[in-house]
Chain A
């Protein structure tokens, strides 16, 4: 799966996710990538999110919208909301994977409970960051 989140100069947030699914899949299985609120979510004045991982778990936990709801209703910071979901309920049911998120201030956060996640960002100051492993 691949994905992207962005904040533009007008203050709008957007998220995108695309995937080839899982190898050897049958029955027209669809994972979380195409499901708004599970794999993709963007809400102005709040946060944009794209996820990657075991799609069934991400759908069951409506991961992307759960992060957004924590920020909207609990006023959690972006890192707290993301990590609460990825390292909390999701991990507890064996839901392995991660997400990328950006809030309306342009703060970027990567969260994963797996050994790695291919990821990159360019922040508000134009700094480019490319990472692969979880401990980087």
Chain B
């Protein structure tokens, strides 16, 4: 008998206004969410563990330009991406976390590798990337993460001396995280 399994995902919270969102944008968001949650669910359905399921789901979200993670990441003051990620597996409370990485396509898989293949739980910056390359992650140029939308967003913030939580030129630009 199959034991119960289930999954949930999120793509960020904040000021998301229906009045400013086009039907096309709405459909793209819904489609990306559905694809990600179904991918994670398939892992569970085939008997995979919860850790792999959440990593697969988040990897899909990181590969979508619609969310602030992976290829959709916002830009720092220096016009770079700088990403953070973490995973936790309830079985024996295993943990992996990374912060401030700039050249890793899927930060969540690096966090998982810290959990699985490191004696440590939290790696940052250049050291995290050094560990990533030892684990077989490929160097990803900043160009991969760069989008016109995020660049315009950054310029708007810079002009007003603000951070991401206080400006909006897209329907979900006040969305957090």
Name A's B-contacting residues (CB within 8 A): 1-26, 28, 30-31, 33-36, 39-46, 48, 50, 52-55, 96-102, 105-106, 108, 110, 112, 114-124, 128, 130, 132-133
Contacts and interface: CB of A to CB of B under 8 A. Distances in A.
A102 B8 contact: yes
Contacts of B132: none
B176 A96 contact: yes
A56 B35 CA distance: 30
Contact of A4 (B14, B18, B40, B124): B40
B88 A33 contact: no
Contacts of A4: 7-10, 36-37, 40, 53-54, 57-58, 61
B139 interface: no
Contacts of A26: 76-77
Contact of A18 (B33, B69, B76, B88): B69
A34 B88 CA distance: 10
B50 to A, nearest CB: 4
Contacts of B62: 2, 18
Contact of B50 (A24, A48, A99): A48
B17 A115 contact: yes
B8 A5 contact: yes
Contacts of B86: 16-17, 33-36, 39-40
B49 interface: yes
Contacts of A100: 8-10
Contact of A34 (B3, B48, B51, B99): B99
Interface residues on B, range: 35 or more
Contacts of A54: 165, 176
Interface string B3-16: 11111111111111
Nearest to A107: B6
Interface of B: 2-18, 26, 29-30, 33-34, 36-38, 40-41, 44, 47-51, 53-55, 57-58, 61-62, 67-70, 72-77, 81-91, 93, 95, 97-100, 107-108, 111-112, 121-122, 124-125, 145, 150, 153-154, 157-158, 162-165, 172, 175-177
Contact of B68 (A20, A123, A133): A20
Contact of B88 (A8, A40, A105): A40
Given A5-B9, A10-B49, 17 more contacts: A1-B68, A2-B177, A4-B40, A6-B6, A7-B4, A8-B5, A9-B2, A15-B54, A15-B88, A16-B57, A20-B73, A21-B68, A22-B164, A23-B163, A36-B121, A106-B4, A119-B9
B85 A124 contact: no
A120 B58 CA distance: 12
A124 B101 CA distance: 36
Contacts of A41: 88
Nearest to A1: B177
When A and B form their complex, which 9 residue pairs have the shortest distance between CB atoms, in order from nearest? Answer: A1-B177, A20-B73, A118-B11, A116-B16, A117-B13, A14-B50, A23-B164, A44-B90, A34-B84
